[in-house]
Amino acid sequence: MHSRHLDIKIPDDMRDAVISIIKRFRDRGYECYLIGGSVRDLILGNEIYDYDFATDALPEHIRRLFRKTIPTGIKHGTVSVLVDDHQFEITTYRSDGVYLDGRHPASVSYSAELRVDVERRDFTINGLAYDPLSGDVMDYVGGLRDIEDKIIRTIGDPVLRFMEDGLRPVRACRFAAKLNFAIDEDTFRAIPNTLDIVRKVSKERVRDELIKILESKKPSVGIEYLRTSGLLELFLPELAECHAISQNKYHIYDIYYHSIYSCDAAPKEDPMIRLAALLHDIGKVPTKQPGDDGDYTFYNHEVIGAKIAKKIMKRLKFSNEQIDAVNILILNHMFHYTDEWTDGAVRRFIRKVGLENIDNLFTLRMADRKGNGARKGLPAPIEHLKKRIERVIEQENAFSVRDLNINGYIIMDEFGLKQGPLIGKILNELLELVLDNPVLNERNVLIGRAREILERRKAENGD
Ligand code: ATP
Ligand code: MG
């Protein structure tokens, strides 16, 4: 027998909808089970994002059983149905034809047997089917045992299964991170032999898996599997290179381990901060130099690192918005706040980083510190800087040229100047003055200062 009775609780808000779908199929003489990730996560007590169903009913039959259906993946036998405002995917049992390109099956064929459907799936823990009416879990592939042992194992021969679809090795690392499971030895050993197939997978699919790793409880588990299997070298060679590159007396970890532990220490709710934490020191490899005292220095690594991160993210097809978010965090992660900062310095810091990015930058800095391993506790100066920033924002001060109580037209008028780069230069100098001393932000005062600036420039270079 392949079934085992388990006491599984479906959350109250979904229970009625799930049961009603299964009953509808049963009443018409069809089979229908909850399947895949949802069964795995129900057993583990994890949050469930999608409830997926498998049935022996053909897609056209599924569509007749429900009032609202969407043919989301009809080519592969998947129909979405809407029940109680929730959307569910229901897929006809199928086996996949041959994989010619290492990415997609050339064809799919429907089957009347659950077992056939289970065998096309990737890992044993994803191959369980659950009947909530009887409480039986159907397990043809040893998935229950592997959940108990916390093991990721392919269904069938790992080399063959990985050759079919090159995304599966990356998924193995993703599930290891998400569930904090180990990858079975044979499954793991198959990965280095299938890298040529993995290379064919679209960057978008890899990016999506990487984001899921970043959203898991401990990304370091997945990233370490990516590295030791050779996958990291394929997708993030710049990070793989950080391995075994030592730092200096302030660090106990090499650049790579510091990076992945910093990533763990950033909040899982924000994958872009996690990515920034993972890549924040990536510029340390090309900037490492012995300093005067014999210890290593990494001057300018934040600037070089921000550029490298941009290149990586472009390659992996992240959006421009995501690239900018990570870039600004890496570029600014090296600020050194001391009590000596003037209010003007605090304002310049706000302007450089952008008010909307400051909280994230502090979050990154905390993660960086936690990932250091040697330093403990919260960095007090950051708490202090936070308060200073709040105070500065409260005093309504000028932050950009647009907030000056003067503009380019007034300056052109006053001094008989034509439009051109000089006007912008004068406005920027005025802004610097106002940032240091907000009381200067008065029209007449600014005109006076503009005159001084003009005279100085004339004396300097005959502008
Ligand atoms: P998540 O919680 O991330 O959604 P999941 O297990 O539901 O995890 P999905 O990518 O949503 O993962 O896929 C649903 C199910 O489809 C999987 O549990 C697995 O049974 C099957 N599956 C998905 N992708 C593949 C693949 N590349 N090869 C084989 N089977 C797959
Ligand atoms: Mg899913």
Q: Are 201 and 170 in contact (CB under 8 A)?
A: yes
Region 258-286: mean pLDDT is 96
Q: 137 CB less than 6 Å from ligand 1?
A: no
**What tokens appear for 240 in the block?**
């793989």
Cβ–Cβ < 8 Å for 284, 245: yes
Quick: pLDDT tens for 87-119.
999 999 999 877 777 777 777 899 999 999 999
Q: What is residue 294's predicted lDDT score, i.e. its pLDDT?
A: 82
According to the model, what pLDDT value does residue 435 have? 83
Does position 218 have pLDDT exceeding 70, yes or no? yes
Mutate to test the pocket of ligand 1, among 126, 173, 210 (most ligand atoms within 8 A of CB): 126
Specify the DSSP class assigned to residue 123: B
Residue nearest atom 8 in ligand 1 by C-alpha distance = 37
Q: Which ligand is nearest to the CA of 122?
A: 1
Distances from the Cα of 44 to the Cα of 8, 48, 125, 148, 170, angstroms: 10, 10, 11, 9, 22
CA of 36 from ligand 2 middle (Å) equals: 7
**CB-based contact 429:386 (threshold 8 Å):** no
Contact criterion met (CB below 8 Å) for 143 and 125:
yes
Indicate the pTM of the whole model.
0.85
Residue 441: pLDDT over 80: yes
User: Residue whose CA is closest, atom 3 of ligand 1?
Assistant: 37
- Does residue 396 register a pLDDT over 70? no
Q: Does the pLDDT value for residue 406 go beyond 80?
A: yes
Higher pLDDT among residues 103 and 27, named by residue: 27
What pLDDT shows up at residue 462? 59
**Distance separating alpha carbons of residues 42 and 44, to the nearest angstrom:** 5
| Residue 121 beta carbon below 6 angstroms from any ligand 1 atom | yes
Ligand (nearest to CA of 172): 1
Percentage of the chain beyond pLDDT 70 is 97
